[in-house]
Structure 1
Amino acid sequence: MSIPSAAPGTPISSRDELVAYVAQGEKPLADWRIGTEHEKFGFRTDDLHAPTFEGERGIRRLLEGIASRYGWDIAREGETPVALTRGKANITLEPAGQLELSGAPLETIHETCSEVHTHLEEVRSIADGMGLGFLGMGFQPKWKREEMPWMPKGRYKIMREYMPKVGSLGLDMMTRTCTVQVNLDFSSEADMVKKFRVGLALQPIATALFADSPFTEGKPNGFLSYRSHVWTDTDADRTGMLDFVFEDGFGYERYVDYILDVPMYFSYRDGKYVDLSGKNFRHFMDGKLDALPGVRPTMKDWADHLTTAFPEVRLKQYLEMRGADGGPWGRLCALPAFWVGLLYDDTALDAAWDLVKDFSKEERHALRDGVPKQALKLPFRGHTVRELALEALKIAEQGLKRRARVNGRGADESMFLAPLNEVALANQTPAEQKLELFHGAWGGSVDPVFGEFAY
């Protein structure tokens, strides 16, 4: 979740300025970077409950401890610490205290994987002394929604009140899900369009490979990626597969029109969130919002509004791949490897597009709707998603080998695909592995997951 800043500057005067803002993300290939984000559930090691914000073992103390020991700056809302910054990296709080690393834009997956490792070591060094642990999964496996704490952030208060008006699972999305995503660059509008289309069409494959949310409130929930299912009943105005991306003429302008139709949440002004939930950004541009009479938005308002849409792939001044469940350290490095291999090499991008270009709208939706329950075993065109995943992994591997970004031991980035190849070859998702343990060695309890799969 992005860190808010005030909204000074010149008011937006036209739609063309919004389009130009998105287009400013274009970068030459030499300047392409990789930004990895991941969320994780905190828990108290003695009773497994999620830590509250305040208290001796609270999230506030954790943030202050990390900042003090490792040189992070504290970002605050009023007097309340809500995030940390160091260079171009941020540590932010999701609504129920899930801790998120928004990594710096880096040149190689070797670097982003090292960044993840350093972050987890820093967090663990503070958390251990507080009796806290952290777990990477897609959905909180044990606790009910009402048992989850809420963080004191103005943005979340607005969303908490709005979500039940537009879907039945939005509060679960906020409090009980964790994801890993990767942010990637594009060189031109045409390059963005091709990457967007491949990303959307293959997003269900990433969901299947990373499926790791089979439990709700201590029991199997009938899904392998329940986190992915949660998004289907969160808010239809701001989620989904964006069929218009595959239509002729799609580009920056069409995406801007989509975002303009997404209802607003807020404007951040004078250090406070102004509740604009459900309002129209076009009316804001005309100065016609009752909550801010005569006030027109700046580009900071537009940048914030871009973050309030949650489709499977999101465009800001870069593309965000958003379909994967959170997971352990190795899979946090595997997601950028998968998408960089597919999208950052022209030959691989062409091959990936050849793989999906004849998918019908109905097939794309069947994949999106089917993988939360069946993952790799979902039937598709006489085979299963597993075969599609194996082909996508092969394309990604060759793309990474052609990139030829090696570490100090001469290994290229394709090494980070190993966890995904293991999943696909075994035809067993992380969720299915945990279900097997639940029905076997764990004796019908989810509690062991907090020990065996914690960071």
Structure 2
Amino acid sequence: MSNPGEADATPITSPRQLAAWFEAGCKPHEAFRVGTEHESFGFRLTDHAPPPYAASRANPGGIRDLLEMIAADEGLTPILDRGQPIGLNGPGFSISLEPGGQFELSGAALASLHDTKAEIDTHLARVRRVGPRLGLGFAPLGFHPTARREDFDWMPKGRYAIMRAHMPRVGTRGFDMMLRTCTVQANLDFSSEADMVRKLRVGYALQPLATALFANSPFREGHPDGLLSNRAYTWLDTDNARAGIPRMVFEDGFGFERYADYLLDVPMYFVYRDGAYIDVSGHSFRDFMAGRLAGFEGQVPTIGDFADHSTTAFPEVRLKRFIETRGADSGNPAMLMAQPALWAGLFYDDAALNAAYALIRDIAYDDLIALREAVPKSGLDIKFGAGTLRDFGRDVVAIAAEGLRARAMLNAAGEDERIYLAPLQAIADGAPTQAEHWLCRYHGAWNGDVGRIFAESAF
């Protein structure tokens, strides 16, 4: 989740400004970039327990120590919340903490996937260098395989305290989402409102497929529980007023204004003022604009307030001044690369985007919702169209490969970006997903010991 807010103090005097804020993200095709964000669970090497925020003699290897060590090693700037470090800013990237201490790299906007590969390699080297000095390892999995909610230390971030109080009012799995999930997402650009609409519709329609392809969380509290993606299952009852797949994206007339209007009614969490998060949970941004927000009566919100609010909506694809594809479990380094490769291949070549749109155009909204609800358990084996979701995935991955071929961006070895789709091509052709691989290990070589996953999955 995002670090503290955008400082644009422009007063909002008209709803049209909100649509214009999104529209300002439009870029010419040659300026398109790819950003990648990915999370991993820190764990103590001795007992696999989640590390605390602040270390003690009884509970060594703290997250705060980790941030301070990286800052000292690399000269990065700490991000503070009430005087406590909760992230780091670097040149074009940031490091942040999820509520349970999950360690996130928010990568730079980069010209090619080869640059993304270099960035991920740098991050892996970072955690491999620093982690052992604190007795920590890092496992990129979609849902924590062994820990209970009460095993986590809550990170001292103001917005998380507000969310922690609010989550039990709106769903049964909000604490699991906050504490026990990790994801990987790709951030991509659009050239116009029409281009945004097309990409958002393709992105939403393909999120259930992405969830199935990237499934990497088949365990809960030390045992298989019949699911392939506990992370995706968690999102089905976290806070449905701000999550899922909004119907309006597929309706006639959808565009920047309709998305801004949707956000006006997504319940707020906070207003950020003078370095502090002020709890306004449950009220709408529409009330804020009308001067009716409790505690802020008569005050005019700013564009910065709206930008902050936009980060508190959690749909499967999120629109900001770029598009975030969000429906995948975190995974091994090859799968971390496959996620942006899939979406760049589909979005950044016109022929590929047209082909993907043709595939999804006739999927009914209600069928899409049913698919989203089924994939955490059934994955790629779901009956879909004339075959299975795996068959559909084979067609989608092939379209993405053609899109990357057309981009013709080569690395030093003369390879184009299609190399990063290799794990998805294998899965679409019948290889096990990450979740299926771990289940085979559990029932075979591990003899039922889920703890073995930490050493085998760690960076």
TM-score (norm 2): 0.98
Q: Residue 263 of structure 1 aligns to a residue in which SS?
A: coil
Q: Residue 255 of structure 1 aligns to a residue in which SS?
A: helix
**What is the match of residue 354 of structure 2?**
350
Mapping for residues 286-435 of structure 1, pairs under 5 Å: 286-435=290-439
1:428 alignment partner AA: P
1:257-291 per-residue CA deviation (whole Å, 9 max, x = no partner) reads 11111000001110100001001111111222222
1:448 alignment partner AA: R
Structure 2 alignment gaps of length 5 or more: none
1:142-200 per-residue CA deviation (whole Å, 9 max, x = no partner) reads 01111111101110000000000000001100000000000000000000000000101
Structure 1 alignment gaps of length 5 or more: none
- Is 1:145 the counterpart of 2:153? The answer is no
CA distance in 1, matches of 2:63, 2:213: 31
CA distance in 2, matches of 1:6, 1:257: 20
- The one of 249, 256, 278 equivalent to 1:252 is 256
- Is 1:199 the counterpart of 2:203? The answer is yes
- Is 1:86 the counterpart of 2:99? The answer is no
1:396 alignment partner AA: A
**What is the match of residue 12 of structure 1?**
12
Mapping for residues 118-137 of structure 1, pairs under 5 Å: 118-137=122-141
Mapping for residues 266-305 of structure 1, pairs under 5 Å: 266-305=270-309
2:170 alignment partner AA: V
**What is the match of residue 45 of structure 2?**
45
- Is 1:179 the counterpart of 2:183? The answer is yes
- Is 1:208 the counterpart of 2:185? The answer is no
Count of aligned pairs between the two proteins:
455
CA distance in 1, matches of 2:330, 2:406: 28
Cα offset, 1:366, TM superposition:
2.4
Cα offset, 1:71, TM superposition:
2.0
1:332 alignment partner AA: L
Q: Residue 288 of structure 1 aligns to a residue in which SS?
A: coil
CA distance in 2, matches of 1:332, 1:88: 19
1:20-42 per-residue CA deviation (whole Å, 9 max, x = no partner) reads 00110100001111010001000
1:184-236 per-residue CA deviation (whole Å, 9 max, x = no partner) reads 00000000000000101111111111001100000111110110111110011
Cα offset, 1:447, TM superposition:
0.4
Distance 1:358 1:13, change over 3 A: same
CA distance in 2, matches of 1:294, 1:65: 45
**What is the match of residue 66 of structure 2?**
62
**What is the match of residue 269 of structure 2?**
265
Distance 1:6 1:256, change over 3 A: closer
CA distance in 2, matches of 1:358, 1:9: 43
Cα offset, 1:8, TM superposition:
6.2
1:112 alignment partner AA: T
**What is the match of residue 241 of structure 1?**
245
1:117-156 per-residue CA deviation (whole Å, 9 max, x = no partner) reads 1012112211111110000110000011111111011100
CA contact (8 A) 2:93 2:105 kept: yes
- The one of 158, 161, 167 equivalent to 1:157 is 161
Q: Residue 163 of structure 1 aligns to a residue in which SS?
A: helix
2:263 alignment partner AA: I
CA contact (8 A) 1:41 1:178 kept: yes
1:351 alignment partner AA: A
CA distance in 2, matches of 1:401, 1:437: 35
CA distance in 1, matches of 2:3, 2:303: 15
CA contact (8 A) 1:423 1:430 kept: no
Cα offset, 1:294, TM superposition:
2.7
**What is the match of residue 34 of structure 2?**
34
2:2 alignment partner AA: S
Q: Residue 186 of structure 1 aligns to a residue in which SS?
A: coil
1:373-393 per-residue CA deviation (whole Å, 9 max, x = no partner) reads 111111112310000100001
CA distance in 2, matches of 1:385, 1:308: 31
Cα offset, 1:427, TM superposition:
4.4
Distance 1:212 1:433, change over 3 A: same
CA contact (8 A) 1:142 1:216 kept: yes
1:79-115 per-residue CA deviation (whole Å, 9 max, x = no partner) reads 1001101112000000000000000000000001110
**What is the match of residue 189 of structure 1?**
193
CA distance in 1, matches of 2:431, 2:454: 24
CA distance in 2, matches of 1:10, 1:292: 17
1:24-81 per-residue CA deviation (whole Å, 9 max, x = no partner) reads 0100001111010001000000011000000141000000101110121111112100
- Is 1:109 the counterpart of 2:116? The answer is no
Q: Residue 142 of structure 1 aligns to a residue in which SS?
A: coil
**What is the match of residue 218 of structure 1?**
222
CA contact (8 A) 2:140 2:332 kept: yes
Q: Residue 429 of structure 2 aligns to a residue in which SS?
A: helix
CA distance in 2, matches of 1:197, 1:8: 29
- Is 1:21 the counterpart of 2:21? The answer is yes
CA distance in 2, matches of 1:421, 1:100: 27
Cα offset, 1:363, TM superposition:
2.0
1:300 alignment partner AA: G
CA distance in 2, matches of 1:186, 1:385: 28
Residues 83-92 or 7-16, more deviating? 7-16
1:349 alignment partner AA: L
Q: Residue 54 of structure 2 aligns to a residue in which SS?
A: coil
2:15 alignment partner AA: R
CA distance in 1, matches of 2:366, 2:82: 48
1:306 alignment partner AA: S
